Amino acid sequence: MDKLNNVLKANDIFNIHIFGLNIPISDSIIVMWIISVFLIIFAFVITRNLKTIPEGKQNFAEVLVEFINNFIKDNIGHHWRSFAPYLGTIFLFLIVANIISIFSIIPTGEELYKITGLEFFEHWPEFAIQPPTKDINVTATMGLMTVLLVLGSSIRFKNVFGWLKGLAKPSPIMIPFNILDYGTRFLSLSLRLFGNILAAFIVMELIYGLISPVVPAFLSLYFDLFDGILQAYIFVFLSSVYIAEAVE
Amino acid sequence: MFESLNAFKFLMVALNLLILYFIMKRLLFKRVTDFMENRTNSIKESIDSAERNKAQALEMKQKYEDQLRTARDEADKILNEARGRGNREYDSIVAAAKQEAERVLASAREEIERERAQMLKEIKGQVAGLALAAASKVIEANMNTESNRALVDKFIDEVGAA
């Protein structure tokens, strides 16, 4: 149980002192940096020297971008161009973030010290490669960004009056509920993602504790891979539905 | 978990995601989308221009075929005309030749007739002379008078007519 509590806690690995502020950097932030660097390298590699006749990795890049573009086009329609890059980025980020616990076998912190014997790792705090989306801060930020994007795009594409008019639809009685909707969307988006990933993570930790060989691998396929990709898809899908509603 | 909600973390996550968004947009999404759209447009353009060229070629082919047909018709017409003129020429030449031949024949026949009549006349004269000489020899009389001669001529004419 101690171990479980340990992995559930968001560890502050180190602090950044900037402008007189003390900014704690937790493991979820570090994993986010790792994911970001990975995605940037990935994007750089697959889009290097694009050719008219695609081959190899370029095929993959085209299929990936086309899939995301079509997905956003189907949901948002006319204004897809403004949203496809953001939602695509969120989608790729979430996929990698949600399934990253399959890389938790990579040793970090004290384990690394035990293996390598390097003193450099000796005083590292408890740090493991865990989905950053099991940190409520990360999912809440993403939910907030989606809601702000919905609000912003609604004002941008329908201007302020159009947006205000949209709040009074279908009838003025609905105004408080429509305003409330922004809050509930924020909560549902962030808590759904957070809850799913955290639950899958806890279940997998329990299974690792109970049964050690072979079986966790199969369960990991469901809880880490399937659930992770599904939640990424749902988050992006709901975001695009909200945006479509806002800009139509 | 909830007590760990932290404004700094919010900012860090948002900043991280926004930076990631701008980099991914430039590096992957916008780039690949633009690239694919350019390619789609260029393919569409080349298909369109091929289509146009084909239509143009067909039109030209039609034009050339028409021209060829007109030329062939023209040639046929000229040939027919020439043939007709030749035939006419031939006919007229042959007709002229035939006429000429007939004329020559007729004149030749006339000549012959005339010669024959001349000859007949001469022979008649000689025969009459001979007859007179023979008769005068026979009758020992001089029959060389004008009346006798007329008599003999009459006789010969009768014989000739018979």
Q: Residues A86-141: pLDDT tens digits?
A: 999 999 999 999 888 887 766 666 666 677 766 666 666 666 778 888 888 889 99
Q: Output the pLDDT for position B149.
A: 76
Which residue did the predictor score with more confidence, A143 or A1?
Answer: A143
Q: Output the pLDDT for position B1.
A: 46
Question: Residues A179-191: what's their mean pLDDT?
Answer: 91
Name which of A34, A137, A239 to mutate to probe chain B: the one with the most chain B Cβ atoms within 10 A of its Cβ: A137
Task: Specify the DSSP class assigned to residue A25.
Answer: E
Task: Spell out the residues 6+ positions from residue B12 whose beta carbon is closer than 8 angstroms to its own.
Answer: A23, A25, A29
Question: Residues B42-56: what's their mean pLDDT?
Answer: 95
Q: Output the pLDDT for position B28.
A: 87
Q: Cα-flanking dihedrals φ and ψ of residue B125, to 5°? A: -60, -45
Q: Output the pLDDT for position A175.
A: 87
- State the Cα torsion A183-A188-A191-A195 to the nearest 10°: 170
Is a pLDDT exceeding 90 seen at residue B45? yes
Task: Spell out the residues 6+ positions from residue A228 whose beta carbon is closer than 8 angstroms to its own.
Answer: A94, A95, A97, A98, A99, A131, A197, A200
| B20, A43 contact by CB (below 8 A) | no
What is the interface pTM, i.e. ipTM, of the complex? 0.85
Task: Specify the DSSP class assigned to residue A124.
Answer: P
- Residue of chain B whose Cα is closest to the Cα of A87: B21
pTM over 0.90: no
Contact state of A29 with B14 under an 8 Å Cβ cutoff: no
* A50 contacts in chain B (CB < 8 Å): 31-32, 35
d(CA A66, CA A71): 8
| Chain A residues whose C-beta sits inside 8 Å of any chain B C-beta | 8-10, 21, 23-26, 28-29, 32-33, 36, 39-40, 43-44, 46-47, 50, 52, 61-62, 65-66, 68-69, 84-86, 88-90, 92-93, 135-138, 140-142, 144-145, 198
